[in-house]
Amino acid sequence: MFDGMTVAMVTPFRKGAVDLEATGRLIDFLIEGGTECIVISGSTGEAATCTVDERRALWRFAKERARGRVPLVAGTGTNNTAESIALTRMAEELGLDGAMIVTPFYNKPTPKGQIAHFTTVAKSTRLPLILYNVPGRTATNTMPETFEQVQGITNIVAVKEASGSLDQASAIRARTSLTLLSGDDSLTLPMIAVGASGIISVAGNAAPRAMRTLTDHARAGRLAEAEQSHRTLLPLFRALFVESNPGPVKFLLSAMGLIENELRLPLVPVEPATEKTVLAAATVAGIALPDLARARA
């Protein structure tokens, strides 16, 4: 479940509020571009700065707009188990197709605490869950041995692995039967080579068709074609993380005319030098840009 090319969607804002009109445009763009699943309110979606009411409205709108064309997964994990349960239950009540549970951040739980957290959230819902390991944001690495301990819980079905370690990804595959998903765009190809079934992508916000092509080639074993896709997209992968995600990709989406270039504090729009880097990488990746945006590159 959740194989293939999933996009970790940004949350469009306008004048301080969630921009549902732009959200609708973006959802249509992603689906028409070949996205196979969408994660809403993950770290790329700036979930930490969205209220519960905003999430509810966003998830309800996304469900209506997607119309069953692709599965929708809500990012419901926090560093508070009770709050994670409440958000996961809300996602289930709104009819979403799954939830993503990040390793609790700031608290720095031990493996025993991580197991207790994941288990307690999983037992509170019938939704299939993706567990999300991203030590760069959480300050805690969830190890393969921990995933091994929770794989027997029926609705824990996948791991988004963003530690950056291929050795760790390989160990998850060796120790568990969970679906392994890359959490880093630049590691899509090597992660699939060591057993991943897909990617939860940031770059896919702006280049869904190209990311789908890369993922399809890699999963089918067409390595020469996959490598060519990877090389074409590599400057974009790098550019989108010159500054904190989702700043660069939100700028690019605004240059494409899809959303406003607006983030929530403490995030701010990217610097002019980063804008040029992003636009140049987008051009290499074959992303269509309006004339004004091309002139700025």
Q: What is the 3-state secondary structure (H, E, C) of 252-274?
A: HHHHCCCCCCCCCCCCCCCCHHH
| 103 within some domain | yes
pLDDT for 252: 98
* Segments forming the whole domain that contains residue 177: 4-226
| 21 within some domain | yes
With CA atoms as reference, report the closest residue to 156 among 173, 188, 132: 132
The contacts of residue 240 (CB under 8 Å, 6+ apart) are 185, 202, 203, 248, 249, 252, 278, 281
Query: What is the DSSP annotation of 1-32?
Result: ---EEEEE----EETTEE-HHHHHHHHHHHHH
| 111 within some domain | yes
Annotation says 106 is catalytic: no
For 203, which DSSP code?
A: G
**In total, how many domains does the chain have?**
1
pLDDT for 190: 98
pLDDT for 83: 98
| 212 within some domain | yes
Measured in degrees and rounded to the nearest 5, phi and psi for residue 280 equal: -65, -45
Check which CATH number belongs to the domain holding 84 and give it.
3.20.20.70
pLDDT for 296: 59
Amino acid at the residue 266: P
With CA atoms as reference, report the closest residue to 130 among 93, 55, 180: 180
Cβ(196)–Cβ(166) below 8 Å: no
Set 15, 63, 123, 160: catalytic member:
160
Set 15, 132, 250, 276: catalytic member:
132
Helix, strand, or coil (residue 98): strand
- Burial track 123-135 (b if 16+ CB lie within 10 A, e otherwise): ebbebbbbbbbbb
The contacts of residue 128 (CB under 8 Å, 6+ apart) are 1, 2, 97, 98, 99, 155, 156, 157, 158
C-alpha 205/C-alpha 295 separation (Å) is 22
Q: Rounded to a whole number, what is the distance in angstroms from the first to the last CA of the chain?
A: 39
| 264 within some domain | no
Residue-level pLDDT, tens digit, the chain, 297 residues: 799 999 999 999 999 999 999 999 999 999 999 999 999 999 999 999 999 999 999 999 999 999 999 999 999 999 999 999 999 999 999 999 999 999 999 999 999 999 999 999 999 999 999 999 999 999 999 999 999 999 999 999 999 999 999 999 999 999 999 999 999 999 999 999 999 999 999 999 999 999 999 999 999 999 999 999 999 999 999 999 999 999 999 999 999 999 999 999 999 999 999 999 999 999 999 998 986 565 555
The contacts of residue 114 (CB under 8 Å, 6+ apart) are 103, 104, 140, 142, 146
Annotation says 15 is catalytic: no
| 159 within some domain | yes
For 184, which DSSP code?
A: -
C-alpha 237/C-alpha 130 separation (Å) is 23
**Helix H segments across 94-207?**
111-122, 135-138, 144-150, 166-175, 188-193
Which residues are paired to 101 by β-bridges?
131
Cβ(177)–Cβ(148) below 8 Å: no
| 40 within some domain | yes
CA 188 to chain centre: 13
CB atoms within 10 A of CB 219: 17
pLDDT for 290: 83
| 53 within some domain | yes
